[in-house]
């Protein structure tokens, strides 16, 4: 069958037509007059609304063009049109996946997609899991279960883990220990062992990948350590979880094999093929051993915001969620998702959108989501190679997935910081050829460890960071590089 990028208007039309017919099948009724709106007021307000949404970015306070490959800043991109159409159709019905009374079809779809995501990680069939409002909520649930299992113990995570872990530990009144990270951004296993020796830790959080540097914690290498200390493993794969598709043995997403590794990290130019280098791939495969995992379909799963997911290896942890509801849970004896989640109301539309998107773009290495992620990997490796060959930009570290970190070539941290900030600001401000990046604050010690020529004349420096999470970045990355290099040249000259 021919493949094409779906036209959102015709998808929406089909969705609206079908829901119109479904509504009509229940017979006519009058809309209440209180629900009508003044047409003039609507016209004016809608114009203002759309105007505010589409105002020019930066100084004018408008949105950045998250859809465009010249946006290479944060983890942001619009959902796939298939997800938009599915979401819109379900939103008109507005099922609530709290209980099956709230909408059996999307409740069922949620169970199906959660099963597929768990299978992608290689978790056992009898896992427990559900969708959540996002990664924060999903991590909160995983840490809540961690606390219930070890009420007297705390959690440990890398200093580079997402800030949500320390915040959630605070909310849960759990002791939280941040363990130092290597200059490349991976948790330091020796430092972790020192923390585990105290006997105070019940669960260790490892990230796949980290939000800032895009590093993957050494999950496979940590397993025996965690077992030795009888400690649980929670993997925060909110951002990078779908890369597991490209990490399974035999996953071939291009004609070339990645180069073998000599150790220490992915090598320069390695993996230009779009497969995950074995150095990193084994840690994604080791997620199969985790006690709990979080993944955000609203990041790499082509979904609109409001779609996270938490998975537990041992379904008996469902007991910690047990509660009664006199209002719901009465239409069937089957599991109501609200019985195993902390949130009450949740959009059935989120489950429906993920379900349809994964039907069209399945969780596979060689079709569907796999090749989409592979293009981002290739874009990141290509940009890293261009930066390495550049005299005005320096690569902070080799990208492990699709996040590239770099900085303008300068002698001191003050100069690096100022030039980086200038590239960041001037890139956005240029109306003719804008480029949208993000910055990341690095501590001097780690910067200098990887780049000993830098003089540490201040404790921190901002480096530049680009999340290449759109497959379209692959064809655009040479232009991105040329633009950023030219901005860096004028910032450092
Ligand atoms: C690794 C990681 N964990 C957790 C979160 C928080 O997820 P959310 O923003 O969906 O609440 C993020 C967000 O960027 C993340 O990158």
Structure tokens that stand for 115 in this block? 């099963």
Give the pLDDT confidence score for residue 267 in this predicted structure.
54
Give the pLDDT confidence score for residue 253 in this predicted structure.
45
Domain boundary among 332, 360, 388: 360
Name the pairing type of β-strands 460-467 and 438-443: antiparallel
For residue 74, the SS3 value is: coil
- Atom of ligand 1 lying closest to residue 209 CA: 1
Report how far residue 163's alpha carbon sits from residue 211's, in angstroms, rounded to the nearest whole number.
9
Dist. CA 345 → ligand 1 center (Å): 21
Report how far residue 480's alpha carbon sits from residue 392's, in angstroms, rounded to the nearest whole number.
14
Q: 368 Cβ partners below 8 Å, 6+ apart?
A: 358, 360, 361, 362
Q: Do 111 and 149 belong to one domain?
A: yes
Residue 249 has pLDDT above 80, yes or no: no
Assess if residue 69 is contained within a domain. no
Q: Could you read off the pLDDT of 359-376 as tens digits, one per residue?
A: 999 999 999 999 999 999
DSSP code of 347? B
Closest CA to 380 of 211, 207, 214: 214
Q: Could you read off the pLDDT of 403-442 as tens digits, one per residue?
A: 999 999 999 999 999 999 999 999 999 989 999 999 999 9
- Between helix 135-149 and helix 164-171 the angle, nearest 10°, is 50
Domain boundary among 310, 343, 360: 360
Q: Could you read off the pLDDT of 97-117 as tens digits, one per residue?
A: 998 889 999 999 999 999 999
Q: Do 156 and 190 belong to one domain?
A: yes
Dist. CA 308 → ligand 1 center (Å): 9
> Residue 250: which pLDDT band, with cuts at 50, 70 and 90?
low
Domain region containing 130? 92-360
Domain boundary among 340, 360, 380: 360
- Give the predicted TM-score (pTM) of the model: 0.95
- Atom of ligand 1 lying closest to residue 161 CA: 1
Dist. CA 418 → ligand 1 center (Å): 28
Got the DSSP string for 115-143?
Answer: HHHHHHHT--TT-EEEEESSHHHHHHHHH
Q: Do 178 and 324 belong to one domain?
A: yes
Looking at ligand 1, which residue's alpha carbon is closest to its atom 14?
Answer: 211
């Amino acid at each position: 069958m021919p493949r094409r990028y779906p036209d959102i208007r015709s998808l929406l039309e089909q969705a609206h037509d079908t829901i119109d017919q479904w509504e009509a099948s229940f017979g006519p009724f009058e809309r209440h007059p209180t629900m009508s709106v003044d047409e003039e007021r609507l016209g004016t307000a809608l114009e203002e609304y759309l105007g505010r949404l589409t105002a020019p970015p930066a100084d004018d306070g408008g949105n950045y063009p998250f859809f465009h490959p010249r946006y290479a800043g944060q983890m942001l991109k619009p959902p796939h049109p298939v997800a938009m159409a599915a979401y819109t159709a379900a939103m008109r019905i507005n099922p609530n996946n709290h209980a099956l009374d709230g909408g059996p079809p999307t409740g069922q779809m949620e169970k199906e997609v959660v099963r597929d995501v768990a299978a992608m990680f290689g978790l056992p069939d009898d896992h427990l899991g559900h969708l959540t409002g996002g990664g924060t909520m999903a991590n909160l649930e995983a840490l809540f279960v961690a606390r219930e299992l070890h009420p007297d113990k705390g959690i440990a995570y890398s200093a580079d883990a997402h800030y949500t872990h320390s915040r959630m530990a605070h909310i849960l009144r759990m002791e939280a220990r941040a363990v130092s990270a290597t200059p490349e951004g991976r948790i330091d296993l020796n430092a972790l062992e020192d923390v585990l020796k105290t006997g105070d830790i019940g669960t260790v959080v490892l990230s796949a990948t980290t939000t800032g540097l895009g590093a993957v914690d050494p999950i496979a290498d940590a397993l025996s350590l965690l077992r030795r200390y009888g400690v649980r493993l929670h993997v925060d794969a909110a951002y990078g979880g779908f890369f597991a598709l490209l990490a399974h043995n035999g996953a071939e997403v291009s004609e070339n094999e990645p180069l073998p590794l000599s150790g220490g990290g992915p090598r320069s130019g390695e993996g230009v093929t779009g497969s995950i280098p074995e150095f990193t791939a084994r840690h994604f495969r080791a997620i199969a051993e985790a006690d709990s995992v979080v993944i955000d379909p609203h990041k790499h799963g082509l979904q609109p915001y409001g779609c996270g997911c938490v998975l537990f290896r041992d379904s008996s942890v469902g007991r910690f969620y047990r509660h009664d509801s006199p209002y719901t849970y009465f239409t069937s004896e089957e599991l109501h998702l609200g019985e195993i989640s902390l949130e009450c109301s949740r959009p059935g539309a989120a489950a429906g959108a993920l379900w349809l998107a994964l039907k069209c773009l399945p969780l596979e290495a060689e079709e569907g989501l796999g090749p989409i992620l592979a293009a981002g990997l290739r874009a990141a490796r290509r940009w890293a190679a261009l930066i390495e060959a550049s005299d005005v930009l320096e690569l902070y570290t080799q990208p492990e997935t699709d996040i590239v970190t770099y900085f303008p070539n300068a002698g001191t941290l003050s100069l690096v910081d100022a030039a980086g900030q200038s590239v960041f600001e001037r890139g956005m401000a240029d109306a003719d050829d804008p480029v949208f990046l993000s910055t990341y604050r690095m501590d001097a010690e780690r910067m200098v460890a990887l780049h000993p020529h830098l003089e540490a004349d201040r404790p921190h420096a901002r480096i530049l960071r680009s999340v290449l999470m759109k497959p379209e970045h692959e064809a655009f990355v040479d232009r991105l590089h040329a633009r950023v290099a030219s901005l860096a040249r004028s910032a450092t000259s």
